Structure 1
Amino acid sequence: MEKMILKTNKRLECINITSRVVQLCQGKIEDGIILLYIPHTTAGIFINENTDPDVVTDFENTLSQIVKSDISYLHSEGNSDAHIKSSIIGSSVSIIVENGRIQLGRWQGIFFAEFDGPRTREVWCKFIPSI
């Protein structure tokens, strides 16, 4: 397993990590799957359009409207909304690797989602070769 370290700058932030994942895969696996896992309860990972930055802005704004940060939660650490957002988005993605390259759709990118930043975060990467 390999670990990718990220430093986030905002409380809510989506970071395109596609190029870092591509770099990480080089020479590690020819065919199989890369599993990307977020070992945090207030962050997530997802695949979406990476060409138009407005898509990410819309995503962040919509998620903030759905899960408000300024309501009274029973969990009193001040990051309850981040836990809920993380659960909605999810903590892992699996991506096919073929001929040493990750297989994404034409407009797809891999995004790390920070919901309780700024922080130093990890993305755990596991390479699972084809049999």
Structure 2
Amino acid sequence: MPIVNHFIEIETKQGINIHNITLQIQELIESTSIKNGQALVFSRHTTTALAINEYEERLLQDVKVYLHKLAPESDRYLHNDLHLRENIPPDEPMNAHSHLMAMTLSTSEVIPIVDGKLALGTYQSVLFFELDGPRKRTIFCQISGES
């Protein structure tokens, strides 16, 4: 069974932003000979996440409000006591809220591939969540299966 590894790079904006990466994953699949199998999509950062859901503007705004309620940036977090932490870079942000948001979501998704296409439902998209932007982010995509 062939296994093909790819990276998707995204430049994100300030704060929480949600990117639809479905098309990029589908294009990676089409660049392989794999017709049936699966695509593993993995976020390589502790303040980002992945989910499969609807990519609709009003829902995306609801998601952002929901995440801010779960972990308000203004709350007190021990992780943000930068002066008490060891070996942190000088540009380390106070981003405990972003870590907590990421932990409530997921770092990976596995999507079936059928006849060379992602087997997503009608309203499903693969969404990448930036929770601590702006940053340059890398998403790992491993496509495996049979031709």
TM range (shorter): over 0.9
Taking the aligned partners of 1:130 and 1:64, their CA distance within structure 2 comes to 42
From 15, 29, 46, the counterpart of 2:19: 15
Matched, 1:69 2:73: yes
Aligned to 1:35: 40
Taking the aligned partners of 1:107 and 1:13, their CA distance within structure 2 comes to 19
Contact 1:67 1:84 in 2 (8 A): yes
Alignment TM-score, normalising by the size of structure 2:
0.84
One-letter identity of the residue aligned with 2:138: E
Taking the aligned partners of 1:114 and 1:68, their CA distance within structure 2 comes to 16
Deviation at 1:130, TM superposition (A): 5.1
Report 1:38-53 matches (<5 A).
38-50=43-55, 52-53=56-57
SS in 1 for 2:139: strand
SS in 2 for 1:90: coil
Aligned to 1:56: 60
One-letter identity of the residue aligned with 2:136: T
Contact 1:33 1:130 in 2 (8 A): no
Matched, 1:105 2:126: no
Contact 1:38 1:123 in 2 (8 A): yes
Aligned-pair Cα RMSD in Å = 1.3
Deviation at 1:9, TM superposition (A): 1.1
Contact 1:27 1:100 in 2 (8 A): no
Deviation at 1:113, TM superposition (A): 0.1
SS in 2 for 1:36: strand
SS in 2 for 1:116: strand
**Number of residue-to-residue matches in the alignment:** 130
Aligned to 2:112: 96
Taking the aligned partners of 2:29 and 2:146, their CA distance within structure 1 comes to 14
Contact 2:40 2:110 in 1 (8 A): yes
Deviation at 1:87, TM superposition (A): 0.9
Higher gyration radius (CA): 2
